[in-house]
Structure 1
Amino acid sequence: MFPRSVQLLFTTVMVLSSVLCAPSSGAQPVGCQTRGADLSLDQDQDRTVLCPSDCPHRVSVFGTKVYAAVSSVCGAALHSGVLGMSGGPVVVKKLPGRLNYMKSYSNGVQSQHLPRWTSSFSLDYAEQEPLELSSQTSTTALPAEEPVKKPLKKITVKKVLNRGNKDCQLDVMVVLDGSENIGRRRFNLQKNFVVRLASFLKVGPIGPHVGLVQASGAPKTEFLLNNFTQPKDLLYAIKEVSYSGGETNTGKAILHAAESLFSQERGGRRGHPKVLLVLVDGWPSDDLDQASVMARESGINVFLVSVAKPSADELPMVPDKDFTKKAVCKDNGHFSFSIPSWFSANKHVKTLTQRLCSMDNLLCSKTCYNSINLGFLIDGSSSVGDSNFQIVLDFLAEIAQHFDISDVAARVGAVQFTYDQRLEFGLQEYSNKQEVLGALRSIYYMSGGTATGSAIEFATHHLFSRRSSRGRDFLVVITDGQSYDDVRAPAIAAHKQGVTMLAVGVAWAPVEDLRDMASEPKDSHTFFSREFSGLHEFIPNIVKAICRQFNENN
């Protein structure tokens, strides 16, 4: 047994510890995902809340020092440094809305930029309420943590979070018509239409993501694809968009969205289909052709919803009567949608949602840059030499550099040949561009004879599957001399299998052999240079030839 004095000291320390660690009795327990908007505070009112421990650093936080009310309170507290990972009480004060919430990285939390929001909050340290210490040795004060544990166990915020429609994992950027032509009343009807559409899409972290840009005199980004991934937040954000007025410069808005709003830096997701839903009241003021071409070449599926199409009397005022055909991904009826009036628009939402989520019909998702299987057949014969062989590898790496290489996009493989053949790496071996470029540049030079025909058979069999989609397999053959075997029959067999061949010859390579190997049209698939140093001039035309052939076949 310890002496009574030691027992008294131990009990006093335990009581003191529990008092110092206990939160303010008036603190409201919240979860890691609880937002400032969920606290129902009046303007300039503050409240002490109790954050749990170990909140994840990847929570939605918008702003720096002053945070948009849609932000996670505990996430903002971590970002500001008011709390640590152990959680605890923090004072939340409601502030007016503002423009331009600035993003920053602080205390392990990355906050995001938000153009505007209707209300804000700030954070401060919570003052601990002083409690009297009793000189009695009773241990009844030790269970003081029980009131904290019980409410924490009841917090199940994650269970009610919407995960989204996993069968419709799109990145959808909506272009609102904010022109003078639509007017404020129809602009609000248009927003209601988009709200209803967003509800039908069932947005969520693993479902569709929606961003919004307003078309008027100059395009205005309202919010990005990853700003709001919960339905409640997204619908509120759409309703808060204010009317701009001005011209209907839809082309500028399409170009703005296609150039910058689908990038990973702006919230786009790698490997997810890109959709640009363009809403036009009447007709656009500017040209859509060039902007839409750029969108299609970027793998963006442009849908155009035309509301209140021009009447026969109005047609002479329309600059381009075929603007719908030029704007959409493909003029096949799937990507264009006509609605007589905004007053009847909501009854078309279900049909439009089904079209957007019809993944197999999103034809523009697949481009030459992100959908091909690209094989390189490399002459490693003695006549090439070490230094020229390295020039060849750099040349092929620069071709590969033009494509979006990943496990869900373009794939690259390589075969080297002399009399023998060696599979350097297959199409499935590397899943990102840097790995492929490194593998190409580190290929070891074989040296030997030249049997190009046998090499074509080997590459066709080892690189390309007979089940591959036709029009997506490309083989670039590079050789510097005469083959000791026949090239024509193996090339024809490869063509019949659906492999498009591009023949690149250097030095003593016979042009007749190159043309026998090349796919039709021969002139655009055959390249010849006297010197290895001239190979780099062919790169733009080789990439164009691949894309031209891909687009014709797909």
Structure 2
Amino acid sequence: MELLEDTFLENVTQFICKEKKCPDYSCSIQFNTSTDITFLVDSSTSVGNKNFETTKTFVKRLAERFLDAKVKAAVRLAVIQYSKNQEIEVQFSDNYGEAAERINQMVFMNDATDVGAALSRVIANYRDNSRNAKRKVLLFTDGRSQGDLVHNIEQQAQAVKAANVDMYVIAVGDQVHETNLRALVAGQAIDYDIDHGARHLFRVKDYPTLLKGVFYQTISKQMSLN
């Protein structure tokens, strides 16, 4: 499966954004119901500190888009970074300034990767701190997790779904675990729903590409629509 290129992303954003006044492929987003969104940021050794810092910048761009969105009800954001362990860096908040400051202060963990435990932490945080709102999580991963088999990933993804959390995944690089990515997005690796995957699985060739073109607009628009 090919990685998304800037030209393709621009075409997608042009199609999604119907507003005539949108300059430079910039389009507004709107949430029609209260929504709690979690960014689950990969802070494992394989990412590297430089790419981790790039991810922080990208998350701030998305956070600003989400919290500046036209809303009929409130949008709140949480940020959790994970490697072998997890750390809640931003608890659900609608204050971009405070969220951005805490994101800036995030320190690279530089440890092994445990996606399953990270998703369990997301579920627990929604259970303890969310409200009567839509629940969405944006997971940064290459699909690889220390010691996790595909079956374990499927079980954890199904637990996320059972907690009424809608999973979105950003897969970075071409050395990804494709089967695990499908399991994360769909809850199963077999009988993968391509249409669902197209709306929930986003691919970039490397971390610098996160900050190029309109990728952050495409992600935010798609997450606000579903």
Using the size of structure 2 for normalisation, the TM-score is 0.73
Decide which structure has the larger Cα Rg and report it. 1
Letter in 1 for 2:185: V
Aligned mates of 2:60, 2:32 — CA distance in 1: 20
Pairwise mapping of residues 144-543 of structure 1 onto structure 2 (< 5 A)? Answer: 167=32, 169-202=34-67, 206-225=73-92, 228-258=93-123, 260-263=124-127, 265-266=128-129, 268-270=130-132, 272-281=133-142, 283-285=144-146, 286-287=148-149, 288-310=153-175, 321-329=178-186, 331=193, 332=196, 333-346=198-211, 347=213, 348-358=215-225, 361=226
In structure 2, what is the Cα distance between the partners aligned to 1:203 and 1:284?
34
Q: Distance in 1 between matches of 2:142 and 2:157?
A: 18
The one-letter amino acid paired with 2:179 is: D
Preserved contact between residue 182 and residue 281 of structure 1 (Cα < 8 Å): no
What letter is aligned with 1:289? Answer: E
Alignment RMSD (CA, Å):
2.3
Shift of 1:342: 1.1
Secondary structure at the counterpart of residue 199 of structure 2: coil
* Structure 2 portions without partners, runs of 5+: 1-28, 188-192
Supply the distance in 1 between the matched residues of 2:142 and 2:155 (Cα, whole angstroms): 20
> 3-state SS of the aligned residue for 1:334?
helix
> Alpha carbons of 1:276 and 1:166: their partners in 2 closer, same or farther (altered >3 Å)?
closer
The Cα shift of 1:309 comes to 2.7
| 1:233 counterpart letter in structure 2 | E
1:233 offset after TM fit, Å?
Answer: 1.2
Q: Which residue is 1:442 aligned to?
A: none
Distance 2:40 2:131 in 1: 19
Structure 2 Cα separation of the partners of residues 211 and 167 of structure 1: 19
Q: Distance in 2 between matches of 1:277 and 1:247?
A: 20
CA distance in 1, matches of 2:84, 2:68: 30
Is the Cα contact below 8 Å between 2:41 and 2:81 reproduced in 1? yes
Whole-angstrom distance in 1 between the partners of 2:114 and 2:68: 28
1:353 is matched by which residue type in structure 2? S
- Taking a change above 3 Å as real, the CA distance of residues 207 and 166 of structure 1, as seen in their structure-2 partners, is farther
Q: Is the 8 A contact 2:33 2:134 kept in 1?
A: no
CA positional deviation for 1:167: 3.5
- Greater share of residues in helix: 2
| 8 Å CA contact 1:203, 1:229 repeated in 2 | no
Q: SS at 1:211's partner residue? A: strand
TM-score normalized with structure 1 length: 0.31
What is the Cα deviation at residue 183 of structure 1?
Answer: 0.7
SS of alignment partner, residue 269 of structure 1: coil
Report if the CA contact (8 A) 2:30-2:224 is conserved. Answer: no
Q: Give % identity.
A: 16
Count of residue correspondences: 182
- Give CA-to-partner distance per residue, 1:410-463, whole Å, 9 cap, x none: xxxxxxxxxxxxxxxxxxxxxxxxxxxxxxxxxxxxxxxxxxxxxxxxxxxxxx
C-alpha spacing 1:170/1:250, structure 2 compared with 1 (3 Å): same
**Residue by residue, what CA displacement relative to the aligned partner does 1:180-205 show, whole Å, maximum 9, x if unpaired?**
00111000001001011111112589
Which residue number corresponds to residue 57 of structure 1?
A: none
Where do 5+ consecutive residues of structure 1 fail to align? Answer: 1-163, 362-554
How far apart in 2 are the matches of 1:166 and 1:300?
16
Q: Deviations over 1:189-244 (max 9, x none)?
A: 0100101111111258943211111110122222321xx32111111111111111
Conserved? CA contact 1:203–1:210, under 8 Å:
no
Distance in 2 (CA, whole Å) between partners of 1:235 and 1:290 is: 33
Separation in 2 of the partners of 1:181 and 1:322? 19
SS of match in other structure, 2:110: coil
Indicate the SS of the match to 1:222.
Answer: strand
User: Is the 2:138–2:168 Cα contact (8 Å) retained in structure 1?
Assistant: yes
Aligned-pair CA distance for 1:252: 1.2
C-alpha displacement of 1:280: 1.1
Indicate conservation of the 8 Å contact 2:168/2:201, yes or no.
yes
What CA distance in whole angstroms lies between the structure 2 residues aligned with 1:235 and 1:168? 23
